[in-house]
Every structure is written in C-alpha cells, then in structure tokens.
Structure 1
C-alpha cells in the first residue's frame, strides 16, 4: 500500500465530492465505482522500501482564495487570500475556491499544528488577526503583521473541539493610503477521534508468510506504524511501515506458533499515539498429501467436459475460469472485475436448471470436499489489466470487488493469474507516448495486490474461521539465465506470499524452437541441459535455493501436446531449420490428439532422462485425415498415464506441494465419457485412489 504524505507530500485540503456509480457491466457485484465523498489527496509514486509508494502533489494557485465579505460565485473580488497547511510538513496546502462548499472543512486530529497562511493583494505591512469561532462566537486567537509583500502565517494547535477560523485585516492606513477592512471566508476544522484496527488471518499455516494490515483514521500518509508481537509478556516490534493515503499500513509475517499482535502509530506532529486492539493468530500444520489443483475453462462448458461429468474426487482444489481485471482482455474500467467465461455465468444454465454453471461447479466441488478457487486473469492483455487495476489509485477498489465476487459465489480463494507485463514491456497500459510501467513498479503492484487481497478477505465473515486461499501460477526457469542458481528476488517473494505457487511447466513453459534450442519436451521432469535448459526438477531447485519451501511449490501437467515438424523426429535434435512448431493448447488438447488420430499413428516412445512420453512420425510426418490443413507432425510431446505417474511419484518423494492441471476440459473424451488423464492424476496423486 502507498506510504506517503506528511513529511513527504503537500496535499489539497479540499474534499471534492466523489459521486457513487455502479460497477462495470457484467461484474455481477453491484460494487460502486467511487464510494461516498471523502478527503483523498492526489499522489504520484516515489521510491519506498516497503510495498507502496509515497505521494506528492502540488497545491492549487493562491489566486483562487482571496478574501471577501460575501461568498463569490468563483473568483473572489477582494484581495485577501487565505491558504491553510499542515505546519509540520513544511509545505503550503492550498484551499480551493471558497465557492466550493466541500472545501470548507478539513479533518484534523486534536493536538496537530495547522499553519494558516495567506497573502494580501496590496503591498505594505499591515495588521492581521486570526479569529476562531467556538461556542457560538468569534474570539481572537493571535495577531500578527504581514510582510512588506503582504504575506502572513499563523500556526495553531488544534483544540479538542471542532472550530472555524478566519483572518481579519482591520481598516488601516499604509503609506498614506487607507485600506479597507477585509475578512476571509471561514474554514472549519473538524476534530476527529483517532481510530485503529488490525486485520490478519485467525489461523495460518506454520512458517507461511501472510499479510497483516493496520488501518488508521483520520489517515496521515507517511506516519510511522509499528507491528508488535507479544513475546514473553512484553510487546516487541517485529516490523515497521508507514500509513498510505488511506491510512493503511501493510506487513508480512511468518510465524511458527500461536502469536498475539497489535499495531501502534506513535505520537506524531502533535497528535497522540494510537494503537489497535490485540489480535491472536493460531498456527496449523501443512498438509501432508499433495494438492491437485485443476483448472476448468468455463468458456468451454458446453463444448468440452460437461459440468455434470466433472470428477471432483480427482482433485483437492477446483479452479473455475474465469474473470478478468478491468482494462484487460475483456475490457471494462480499471479496478473492476469482468466476467470472462461466457454463458457459464448466466443463471439457470446449470444441469439442475437452478443456478449458473459457475455456481453449480463451486457447489459440486464443496460437496466432494474440494476447495473452489476463482481464476482471476490469464494470458494476453490481462497483464495490462492487472497493471492498471493494481495502481495505487484504484487497487483498493479492485481488491474490494475481487473479494466481493469471492464471497458472492462462495469461493474458498482466488488464483491470481498475472502472467505478463511484469518485465517493463511496452503495451502494458501506459498512456500514448508515455514510458512503460517499469518492471520494478509492476512487480511492486503485484506484491501489494496479493497482500491486500488477504487483508481485505480477513475482514469478511466468510473467511474469518477459514482464511482465504491465494494461489499463483508462475513460470519454470531457464537454467542458463539463473544467477547463483536462484530465481529473481521478486519471484521468491511472490511464492512466499501465496498458499500455492504452481509452475506452468508445460507447452512453451518448458520447450522452444530455434534460438539454439534442441527439440525438447512439454513438461520434462528431469534431464535439462545447456541447449534444453528447462525442466521441472531444476526449476523447483532454483526456487528452493531462493528461500521458498518445497511444500509451497507445485508443478504443472498440461492435458495437451506440442509438436515439431518432420525435420525433427525426436528429442534433442536441431530446431533452427524446422519452421513448424505447433503449441496451440486448444488445437492439440488431449481429446483432439485422440480424435485426429495422433495417438493411433507413429511410434510411441519413452525418454528415461526426461521421464517423458512422446511419439515420432518419421521424416514425412503425420497429417490427420480429418484435418488436412494441419501442418505435418514429426515429433509429438504429450502426457500419458506413465509420465503422470512419474510426476506423482517425484512430487511425493521430493516433498513438493502438488500439481496444477491445464485444463480439465482438454482431457474429456465425449465418445467414452471419460477423462483418462484425470484418472491417471487421481491415481498418482490422490491417496486411496
């Protein structure tokens, strides 16, 4: 979240009215776009050591705040100008035009020092008096004189009661000229009590890093916040942060035993210290059995794998795909949640005719004892949608809407599928002719999004006894690009923030054509080398070296194949001269491999070093009789019962957390009403199968 403001930023003291609006079409959440009117400074990111960005803003021009005896329509006619600022920040905070009613009140904390400064249009030193309206009458606070340029400043300690202030310039004579008396418009300072809350899960898995969030009001961006843990009967500071523009401070903690926490913001700029009530979090042991997290492509519900046939007993976690971040692949406004599974969201289309396909599958998962997760995002333009929707200015709204959606549809958690636009590339939401969002900033936004989703979910009744689950699909790593055998620090940080960090170790996640690569497998378990530099084992090892527990990492199994053209007839062959390289997961879904005869032709092979299945079709290649437009296949890599069994055994032997499946739909064979690959996963991973 965004630290910043006092001590680092000047902000407008106005409270511009923000009109509530409806959520984006298709979200089904009914969440308003901008909430009720409230003070919110504009802000620009600057570097900070914690998740978030400090804010900066310029003050409005002095000319819009001249004094007058009567309220003007816009520009006051008389020449006395009033500017209010928080004295402790050393920067003037401009009061907008007096005709704007919402600008007449500022929220302060008792004891804070406020600087009231201004300028007279006439030059020359003259007396000015600051008056306070309290207990139904105006009283003199302090008198002063302007500078020769007509400027003045008063510093006032805010009382414990709300009050109005004005500046009076009495009638006087300067350099022989009589100057008429002037009175500024009144500014009201509403003294608000300090409030503080601490949000964190009631239970966490031992050793797992989770997010904690302290929220203070009134917000004072930049004000320090300390997170305390009760250790041997004494409060000990274990982390520090600062308030963001919304008064929130975020922390990441990992605990080994049941612990009690509180958050405290110290006395600051005249305001008294304030602490939250204490919160206790218990610790649970990690599960011993590997997880099986299966993705269901909801947009294929009426074409591949009918909902009534989905075998929920074959998995521990069911992921419904999908919704998208606003301004991503499906459009919508940044910060909204956009439905992206077609008619699977529509009511009354489920097999029982009583609900949506989405809600039917969530209930079906729960009835089978599986957890139900929502897929948020995906490949393509959703990276840009995430960049825009996780910007500090809209992330709070986006998080609210995501959690609203989870609660509305009874999900146990969310799979944050932010796959691209994390490397500073162009085309990721930047304005025309603007520089792209940097890799560091995009990664910061991702980390903040993960923390905020957990923190917001912890405030909801649905997740108080059973904390929300957050998963993330990452990529395997190329061993040629590692530094000291480790992944990049941000990747390890993401992995340590989520419940499952699953590698998309299939398709182009593990293989490539050209650029010096030799032909290689989709989902190679082992056997990587300098020219086949990706496999599951080396990728897991790189994350473990980077400080990620094995139990938090998962592998991937793709229910589809990839193939090279006929110049390549097996693994570890040159690919630079072979222009055919087919990786479309829909066209090469396991069901399509069966339907088009790929698995009835060619010679089936097993590669021991890679623990992978493949087929070779010779130098002429194979073209399906029912798809003559397809490019000929020379070397096909795919999953079968043997390769899946090898992965299941390796996961159990190595202590890795589990596997994901992309996608359950691809394995469905309509002719036999079966899903052979899912049955193989069930047998290899699920105890008692």
Structure 2
C-alpha cells in the first residue's frame, strides 16, 4: 500500500504539469475534481442522479463505412436534459466489446473516418452530450495505433470547439483493459494530451478463460492464484509504474456483477469442466443469499464469495463492504475516482442501489 500511495503521489505531481499544459493549450483551467461515473447500457430507468458526476451512455456503434448503426437508446436528448438538470454530465460511449474490427476498418479509410467523426460530433452537439467515451477494445496492433491517435485527436479538437461555443468543458475519456500491456503501443504523452481520464476495467479477472475458479474483481491478489494472479491493485500499479500514467488520469472500475464456477471451493482447477463460469448480477446474489447461499469474506483479497447450499458452486462478487473498501482505496491512492459497469446491476426492487450508494458514501466521507 505504501508503495502504491507513493507512486500515486509522484504521478499526481506529473499530472498537474501535464494536464496544466494540455488545458492551457485549449485555453482552459485544469479541473481535476473526483469523478463518480456510471455506465448506462440502454435507456434510462429511473436513475438516481445524486450518485453520479458523469454518465457514460452505452453504446453507439458504426459499420466499417463509418455510418452509424440505428439504436433505439442512443442518442437521448431526454437523458441529457434530465441529467443536466441534476448537475450530471453525459458522454456517449462509442463502440464496446467486439467492435474493434469496425474501428480498424473505419480508420483505414479516410472517407469512412471523416464520415464517422462528422456523424458522432453532430450527434453530440444536437443532443447536448458533454463528450465521448471511446470504447475501442482494443487498439493493440501496430497498424491500428496511427488511426486511433488521429481519430482521438480529431475528436478532441472538434469537441473542444463545441465546448468553446457552448461555454462549457467537453470530455474525452476511454475504456482500458485491466491488463495495462494491452495499451503498450499507445504513447503515455498522447494519452495525457487527449484524455480527461481513462476508465480502467478492473474486473473480469476470471471466467471461461481461467484455469482456476478465481474472483471476478479482487482488490488484492490471492496467493492461491499464483505469483502472477491479477487484481485491481496490480493493474493500477501497472498503469502507474509501467506506463507512467498519472494517477488522477485513471478511474478504478467497480463491477456490479460477479462470476460463478461449478466447483466446491474458490481457486479450484476448472480443467475438464464442460461449463466453467456463469455471470451473476448483484441483484441475483441478493436472491441467492435469501435462498441459503453462504457469504464469506476473503481476507487476503478483501472481496466476498458465495457458496451454494449443496457446496457445488462458488460465486466471486462484490457487495457493499467490498465496494466501500475499493472506493476508499482508490481515493487514498490519488486516483481520479471510480466508475460502475453497469448502473442497473444493483438496482433492487425498492429502487435503491446499495453498492453504488456505499461507494458514494465513501466518496463523500473522503472530502
């Protein structure tokens, strides 16, 4: 913890310089207030706007020709109006998992790229969004980097122009894999220049691709997962120390779902299983607890497990306690804030969001 806190402090100093230069170039004052971001996947459903500083409205996709795909949820002028009335900013999330081929094709054709940029910028302007969240998952090939950088810089320039006309700041953010090596081809100076912050997806550490029944989103690595086991801490430390990204340009991802495995105990080998894992929303874990599943806290990783009554399944998930600990950890180490995938995951029958509320309480307590 001391090592990460020290790295975060050093990065914060660098961020102050880098962001100050980038903002000065755009005629702005640096503004690095903490962010509390919720990803909204689809249409709004009675959102509790008091929980958020920003909402990322997912997803807007396009074909390889740069023409936007029809979508009943995005854009939503009603969403931006409602959010702005509550003091919340809204960004359009572009792409999403599985759309990297389309991004690659768009930037390989200058006409398609120009068509795409124009359509997105027009949608942002006409629907009063506050910027974009670029979810190209991921620009991890040498031939993709020039196009990714050109596309990002063009968006940054065009959105800043809209911001000057409207008299308010416009945002450019992006989603990043928890594996910092995925972004090894992207220059850190470029990221600092163009991105307001990066949403690091510190979850999906275990699943069908795993050899063990690991936790979906551990705060700290488990010794049972071997010397190279993944965790939120290790991922964020990688961005700080390996990539040199300033701490206040990074938001820590908090998942409102977990993953289960058909094994008797956590970290059991999954080799030979016909069906390895299954996804469980927090709403479903609450139902399982009511059905007699047993909760236990992993003291090493600081996240809970559920075990089925017949000891045939385990689920690694987050609850209000672990979410609070992660939020406190993120703020104590100087990160920009936290974000949730996705906001409906902990929506209870009474309309409450207990996990997001726990994180928000931790944010408020840290002020």
- TM (norm. structure 2) is 0.85
Instruction: Indicate yes or no: 2:356 matched with 1:683.
Output: no
Secondary structure of the 2:142 match is helix
Rounded Cα–Cα distance in structure 1 between residues aligned with 2:305 and 2:228: 16
Number of the residue aligned with 2:32:
286
Question: Does the residue aligned with 1:441 lie in a helix, a strand or coil?
Answer: coil
Q: Which structure has the larger Rg?
A: 1
Partner residue in 1 for 2:296 = 605
Q: Which has the higher contact order (CA 8 A, sep 6+)?
A: 2
SS of 1:561's equivalent? Answer: strand
Aligned to 1:150: none
1:541 aligns with 2:287: no
Q: 1:490 aligns to what SS in structure 2?
A: coil
The answer to whether 1:673 aligns with 2:351 is: yes
Distance 1:667 1:408, change over 3 A: same
8 A Cα contact 2:207 2:277, kept in partner = no
User: Which residues of 2 match residues 134-533 of structure 1 at below 5 A?
Assistant: 206-208=16-18, 255=21, 258=24, 281-287=27-33, 290-298=34-42, 301=43, 307=45, 309-327=46-64, 334-340=65-71, 342=72, 344=73, 358-380=76-98, 382-393=99-110, 394-420=112-138, 422-423=139-140, 439-460=141-162, 465-477=167-179, 488-490=184-186, 492=188, 495-496=191-192, 497-506=194-203, 508=204, 510-513=205-208, 517-528=211-222, 530=226, 533=229
Residue 3 of structure 2: aligned partner: none
Alignment partners' CA distance in 1, 2:209 and 2:142: 30
CA displacement at 1:512 relative to structure 2: 3.7
1:516-572, Cα deviation, whole Å (9 max, x unpaired): x4322111111255366211111111111222101101111111120010x3422x3
Distance 1:573 1:620, change over 3 A: closer
Deviation of 1:688 (Å): 8.3
Distance (Å, rounded) in 2 between the aligned partners of 1:518 and 1:407: 47
Q: Contact 1:256–1:283 (CA<8 Å) still a contact in 2? A: no
How many equivalent residue pairs?
Answer: 348
Q: SS in structure 1 opposite 2:345?
A: helix
How far off its partner does 1:505 sit? Answer: 1.5
Instruction: Note the alpha carbon deviations across 1:290-330, whole angstroms, 9 max, x for none.
Output: 311101111xx4xxxx63x2101101101222211223xxx
SS at 1:281 equivalent: coil
Match 2:281 to one of 582, 586, 589 = 589
Higher helix share: 2
The answer for the alignment partner of 1:271 in structure 2 is none
Cα RMSD between the aligned structures? 2.8
* Unpaired runs of at least 5, structure 2: 1-14
In structure 2, the partner of 1:580 is: 275
Change (3 A) 1:548 1:369: same
Contact conserved, 2:32 with 2:336, CA < 8 A, in 1?
A: no
Post-superposition shift, 1:206? 4.5
Q: What is the Cα deviation at residue 477 of structure 1? A: 1.8
| Structure 1 Cα separation of the partners of residues 347 and 365 of structure 2 | 23
Q: Deviations over 1:633-655 (max 9, x none)?
A: x1101111100010111011100
Looking at structure 2, the residues matched to 319 and 645 of structure 1 have their Cα atoms a distance apart, in angstroms, of 22
User: In 2, Cα distance between the equivalents of 1:281 and 1:461?
Assistant: 11
> Do the aligned partners of residues 583 and 500 (structure 1) sit closer, same or farther apart at CA in structure 2, a change above 3 Å counting?
farther
**Separation in 2, partners of 1:607, 1:360:** 43
CA distance 1:688–1:548, change in 2 (3 Å): closer
Determine the C-alpha separation between the residues in 2 that align with 1:599 and 1:554: 33
In the alignment, the residues of structure 1 paired with residue 86 and residue 361 of structure 2 have an alpha-carbon distance, to the nearest angstrom, of: 17
